[in-house]
Structure formats: C-alpha cells, structure tokens
A and B are shown apart, each in its own frame.
Chain A
Amino acid sequence: MTENIVAETAERIFSDLADAQNLNNATNEGWKTPLWAALTDAGLPLTWVPEDCDGSGASLADGFSVASSVGRFAVPVPLVETMLAGWLLSQAGLPSPAGKMTVAPARPQDRVTISADGSLSGRVRGVPFASDAAHIAAIAQDAKGYSIALVEASACRIEAGESLGSDASNTVTFDNVKPLSSRPASPGTTPASLMLMGATVRSLQIAGALETMLDMTVRYSNERVAFEKQISKFQAVQHNLARLAGEVAAAVAAAGSAADAIANSSAFDDAVFLEAASAKIRCAEAAEKGTAIAHQVHGAIGFSMEHILHRYTLRALGWRDDFGHESYWATELGKFVAARGADELWPLVASR
C-alpha cells in the first residue's frame, strides 16, 4: 500500500501493536506503553523535526504518508498530533521534547495570546489528546505578530472530553501560563498555517480510514450469506459498495493532492489554501456518505461495540471537527473565490 520506508515502518508497528481487534478487546490501556515506545524507537513522533533539533528530519511527504497509515489503522494515540507539534516548534527553530505532544489552537475560531511578560492566555476547544499529552505546542499572537511556544500540559487547565471516536479531545485554558520556551514564528507561519497542515493531516486520516472501511465492507459482503446467497451478489448492495468506492476515491485523491501541494510548496499560499480547504471539505463529505454505507452493508453486527467497524467510522466522522469544520473551510473558500471574481474561477481550478 505504501511506498516509503517511513510509512512502512509505521504500518509494521501498527500491525504488531495496534491491531484494531486487539485494541477493541482490551480491558485496559496496557497496549499504549509498548505502542508508543515502538513508535518512539522508530523516531516517528518527531518525523517532521529537523535532525539538528534531534528529530528524524523526514520530508513532509513522508510524514503525510504516516498520517494516511494512522487513518488506515485508526490509531488511537497522538502520533500525528505530536508530529504536528514538532513541525510547529521547528517553525520557530525550537527543539522538541520527548513524549506525547499536541497543538493549539485546533479550531480556526480559537485564539491564544502572548502578553508582554511572555505568558500565554486563551481558551481553546477540541484540542486532540490534550489530556494524554505531556506538552502542548501553541501558536500565539502578540503585539508584533506570532510566536510559537512550548508549554507543559500540566500548567494548563484541561477539561475532560472526548471525540466521537472516544479519543481524548479537550478544552484547554491557558491562564497566564509561562511557557517552557517561546520564539517568534518564522515569517509566513500563522495560525492559518497550522489549520492548513492540520486540515490536510485530518483529510489523509479520513481517507485512510475510508480505505479500510471499503476493504472490510467488501470482504464482509463476500462472506455474509442472506436469502441463500452472498449479499455481495445483490445488485443493491453492489451499487452501495460502488458508491462507497467513489467516496473513498474522492477522499484519497483530494487528501493526497493537498499533501502533495504542501510538500512541494515553499509557502502556505493560495494554491495550498485551495487544496487543503478542498480536501477537508470533500473528505468530510466522503466520511458522512462512506460511513453510512459501510454501516448499512454490515447491518447490526457493525453497530455492536465488539465489531471493529466503529473504530474507523466514528473516528472518520470525529476527525471532521478538527482543524476546521468543512462548513468553515467551504465558507472561506467561497469568499476567496467570490473576491477573485467569476472569470477567475476556472483559471484557479485549472492551475492545480
């Protein structure tokens, strides 16, 4: 499935230590420690941290492949969040600490500010895995522009909460929190850059989860017998699965295109905005349509907690909420297109 060694390494670890059925059967969280240790040994949490900051120094493209794999395996640990945090810190030349991290803000409406004495304030919602993380990397506004700050999670007020997929998702309050370190963000790095990166990563995860759903659902339809034949032989079921394949294809193409755009761009420019916004919008739509079909074909068994389908469907649906709801991106994209004018729409689409 994957074509680079970084993602292959990730998938091997996920297969060994994050098997969906094993995690689903587990009665405690004992699986978390060996999984995170293996990921750390492989250097994956710091995929996007340069080697001179003690990271793995892998390319953006390699890291995006890891995000797809995280989606395909519905991995419930903050791997991509730590990768994003490492990336964000490196945008200010800050080294990354060991351990789990996450990023703030995770929603476009939320703000963190940094005061003259260097302390952080703000209340940000839906921060993925904040309650699991040791550190939070934040992009914060000050009088002159933006700074990136590394904060101990224990210094913040973190409210209990979880995503649709039952992963931690928390409201985090920075109440005059002194960061461990902070530096001005490199020129061009803004909260919007983090949203575009986060939206692309979530799009890849949704697309990955949809790929697995298609695979599982096709397999199930070929095994399950009803009315004396495999349900895959019913035309109504075949057409539902063809529609699911279409949604998977659209999600894979849109997310892959956005990742390719960012990986080959030197700035978070208009082209990246079109690509990442489109990916988040289209992948969110695919999540809605695709998960419905996957559940429909599985019938009641797919609605049971003991079956693993929900690990993919609920996460795919939950990932829609992070780094910009699709309605947010659609509104922003629509405003952008309208401001450029009707006759510039086609040249914009054709430029990609």
Chain B
Amino acid sequence: MTAALRFDQIRLPEECEKLRHEVRAFLAEEIAAGTFNPHEPQREDTDVPEFSRRVGERGWIGMTWPKKYGGHERTFLERYVVTEEMRIANAPTRRFFVADRQSGPVLLKYANERIKMDIVPRICRGEVCFAIGMSEPNSGSDLFAAKTKATKADGGWLINGTKIWTTSAHMADYMLAIFRTSPPTKENRRHGLTQFLVDMKTPGITVNPIEQISGLKEFNEVVFQDAFMPDDHVLGEIDGAWKQATSELAYERSGPERFLETYYVLTELVRALGSKPDTRGAEGIGRLVAQLHTMRRMSVSVAGMLQAGKEPVVEASIVKDIGTIWEQQLPHRVRDLAAFIDTDASNHSTLEDQLAFATKIAPKLTIQGGTTEVLRGIIARGLGLR
C-alpha cells in the first residue's frame, strides 16, 4: 500500500484570528502612512528598513523561536497568519522574510551560542537581511555540483568562487552558503560540502546585480576572492551539509508564499468584472477561488501537522508543486477572463499593469527554491518509485 497522503483538517484557532486583525490594522496604518502601496507589487524589490523594524517591534519576526534569542515562542499557525496577511497586502517583507523563514532556524540549530546571541535577536528586530548562497554558474538544481571552494587557513577558511542568482545579496548583511571543503567520494557524491555563515562585509566579496526579465534587480552574482571565514562560522558538520537540509525544507516549501505570489491579479479581476459578472466570468472566478481555497487548506494543514511534530515531507512538496504552477498560470487565466472587460472600468489600468508584471515574473515561480522537476522527483521518491 502506498503511504496515504494525509491532510489533517486544521482550523486556525481563535488566537490566530485575533492576531490576523492586529496584522491587518498594522498594515492599514502603514499603507495610510505611505510606507508602501498595496496595488504596486512591481515595487517588491524596494527595501524599506523602517518597516522591517516596526514588524520586529510587533513581535512578528522569529515568532516561533525561543525567547532567549529574541523570539516569541508562538505557534507556526500564528506565523502562518502573519505571513499570509503580509503577502496579500504586498507588504515589503524582503528584508526579513528569508531570515525569518530559513536562516534563523538554521542558525538556531547549528551556530554556536555567541553567534546565536549576536545575530538571532537582530533578525527578530528586523535589522538584518539574509541571502541564501546555493546556486553557482554551473550548479543550480544539482546542488551537490557546487565548486566554490573553502580552503583551510589559520583560524578559518579562505573562500574562492562564485555564487549566482542570489536573491537580495545586494542588501544582505549575511548569507548562508554551501562551499566545497572536500571532493565528493565515489560512494557519496553529496559528500564534501559544508554550510557557512558569511558576513557580507568580509573583504574579498563582490556583489554584482543581475537584471531580471521583470525589470527588477533582486538577484545577484556574488564573487569570493580569498574571503576569510572564521572557524566558528562553519554551521554543522564539515563535509556534511547534505545531511542538514531536509526537514527544514517542509516549512520552506509549503507556506502561503508558494501560491499567493500573483494573487493581486485575481482581486483586480473580480473588481473589473463587477458585482454581476456574466456566466463566463462567474465560472472563471469560481474555479480559481475553489483552487485557491483548496491550496490554502492544504498549506494550513501542512503547517498544523508540522506544529504537531509530524513530518509531511511529500505533502509539503505537493503544496509547492501545485501552488507554484497555479500562481504561475493565474495571470494567464486572468488575462483570458479579462479579455472582454470594458477598458473604461475604473481599475483597468491597475489590472493591466499588474497583469504585465505578474506575467513577467511568472516563469521564475516554478524555478526558485526547488524547480518543479526537482519537487516531482522528491514526490516520486515519497511514493516509492525511486
């Protein structure tokens, strides 16, 4: 019997709804104060440090982490609510989101006490930005082909090589990266990579922006030339990074950001079609809403199962596979449904601008953070096919 796919019926508890209202009120204040425009996802690469700090002051970064390190010991479901409300509002979360989702948990697990006490509280205050250094010019999905080298030196390591497509590296204070400390072995091609904490101010690091087809410059090439990393910046086992990357990925894969990236075009479609759409419009909206509702129920379920200590690895990968394809197709479906809309509709130019932007970013959605092909390989393994 194939392992059954399981989605526990998780409903967000009362404290989450109270929190949701607090987050909405906060975002409404920020919008009113002109911090960001919720109708302009096109500006998602803007860095708004003071917004990050105010989110930190509210206690909405590092929500699930120990209080000792500045965290708030709240639940993953509470974090879920904050994440989805920020995403829906197109809030400028870029500065803290990666640290909150991925980097903080890695530091808490693998960094030494001094580093944890130094950096994690600053993440929680919204003061520091993290990047993830995985891909290299000849190593993308095939993580274990990474060649950027860490050579042992007195008291640390010298790094030489190039990371690429590194989101936010231009504004990051730190990067979590994998470097090659030994060659792979015959038995294990994954052997020989080590995870490091990189201080981006280290001499020998050059960040070159790369313009994307969307017009944004959110990702970069990062060149290391004899950049020195002290010994205590090694995270976890030397040569054993491959053992450290699996269970955290369930959080990374299944969050609301994996299907809400282009949500704004659906809102504007509903607005443009008006309160009494024709049958074609109504059916189109209805299908999209049913699909969205289903994905959110799956995603909430995975968050709840993780909170309960389960490891829904296959389910999480499925959420990302289905979710990213949905958000990628959404601008195209909306374009179809908007084909006959009166160009005098009050939000027509907003919809047009948003559609153009969403269509341009759509291709990246099934590439970043694990391609569709990689995810399907993981799902296939979970099904017992590999």
Using a CB–CB cutoff of 8 Å, the interface residues on chain A facing chain B are 1, 211, 214-215, 218-219, 221-222, 232-233, 235, 237-239, 241-243, 245-246, 248-250, 252-254, 256-257, 260, 274-275, 277-279, 281-282, 285, 326-327, 329-335, 337-339, 341-343, 345-346, 349-350, 352
Q: Which residues of B contact A1 (CB under 8 A)?
A: 4
Known A-B contacts A219-B2, A222-B385, A245-B314; the reply to A349 vs B286 at CB < 8 A is no
* Chain B interface residue number, banded: 35 or more
Q: Which residues of A contact B241 (CB under 8 A)?
A: none
Contact with A along B1-37 (1 / 0, CB 8 A): 1101101010100000000100000000000000000
Whether A350 pairs with B376 at a CB distance below 8 angstroms is no
CB distance from B127 to the nearest CB of A (A): 29
Beyond known contacts A239-B373, A245-B318, A253-B297: 8 more, CB 8 A cutoff: A218-B385, A233-B385, A242-B380, A282-B291, A345-B289, A346-B263, A350-B296, A352-B11
Q: Which residues of B contact A252 (CB under 8 A)?
A: 5, 7
Whether B290 pairs with A281 at a CB distance below 8 angstroms is yes
CB distance from B85 to the nearest CB of A (A): 8
CB distance from A212 to the nearest CB of B (A): 10
Contact of A338 (CB < 8 Å), options: B273, B375, B380:
B273
Whether B266 pairs with A345 at a CB distance below 8 angstroms is yes
Known A-B contacts A278-B293, A327-B283; the reply to A241 vs B383 at CB < 8 A is yes
Using a CB–CB cutoff of 8 Å, the interface residues on chain B facing chain A are 1-2, 4-5, 7, 9, 11, 20, 84-85, 88, 263, 266-268, 270-271, 273-277, 279, 281-287, 289-298, 301, 314-315, 318, 321-322, 373, 375-377, 379-380, 382-386
Q: Which residues of B contact A241 (CB under 8 A)?
A: 379-380, 383, 385
Q: Which residues of B contact A238 (CB under 8 A)?
A: 376-377, 380, 385-386
Whether B283 pairs with A245 at a CB distance below 8 angstroms is no
Known A-B contacts A232-B385, A239-B376, A241-B383; the reply to A342 vs B270 at CB < 8 A is yes
Known A-B contacts A215-B1, A345-B289, A346-B267; the reply to A334 vs B84 at CB < 8 A is no
Known A-B contacts A215-B2, A331-B286; the reply to A349 vs B274 at CB < 8 A is no
Which of A233, A256, A335 has most B Cβ within 10 Å?
A335
Q: Which residues of A contact B373 (CB under 8 A)?
A: 239
Contact of A349 (CB < 8 Å), options: B2, B5, B277, B296:
B296
Provide 18 A-B residue pairs closer than 8 Å at the C-beta atoms, listed in order of the A residue.
A214-B5, A215-B2, A233-B386, A237-B385, A241-B379, A245-B318, A249-B5, A249-B322, A254-B290, A256-B9, A281-B290, A330-B286, A334-B286, A337-B289, A338-B282, A342-B268, A349-B296, A352-B297
The DSSP consensus for interface residues of chain A is helix
Whether A338 pairs with B283 at a CB distance below 8 angstroms is no
In the complex, what distance in Å separates the CA atom of A235 from the CA atom of B378?
Answer: 12
Q: What number of A-B contacts does a CB cutoff of 8 Å give?
A: 181
Contact of B297 (CB < 8 Å), options: A232, A257, A338, A342:
A257
Whether A334 pairs with B380 at a CB distance below 8 angstroms is no
In the complex, what distance in Å separates the CA atom of A345 from the CA atom of B285?
Answer: 11
In the complex, what distance in Å separates the CA atom of A342 from the CA atom of B351?
Answer: 12
In the complex, what distance in Å separates the CA atom of A211 from the CA atom of B322?
Answer: 17
Whether A211 pairs with B282 at a CB distance below 8 angstroms is no
CB distance from B336 to the nearest CB of A (A): 14
Whether B294 pairs with A254 at a CB distance below 8 angstroms is yes
Q: Which residues of A contact B384 (CB under 8 A)?
A: 218, 222
Q: Which residues of A contact B380 (CB under 8 A)?
A: 238-239, 241-242
In the complex, what distance in Å separates the CA atom of A200 from the CA atom of B318?
Answer: 23
Which of B2, B286, B292, B383 has most A Cβ within 10 Å?
B286
Known A-B contacts A327-B283, A337-B285, A350-B20; the reply to A249 vs B315 at CB < 8 A is yes
Contact of B321 (CB < 8 Å), options: A242, A335, A346:
A242
Contact of A242 (CB < 8 Å), options: B9, B277, B376:
B376
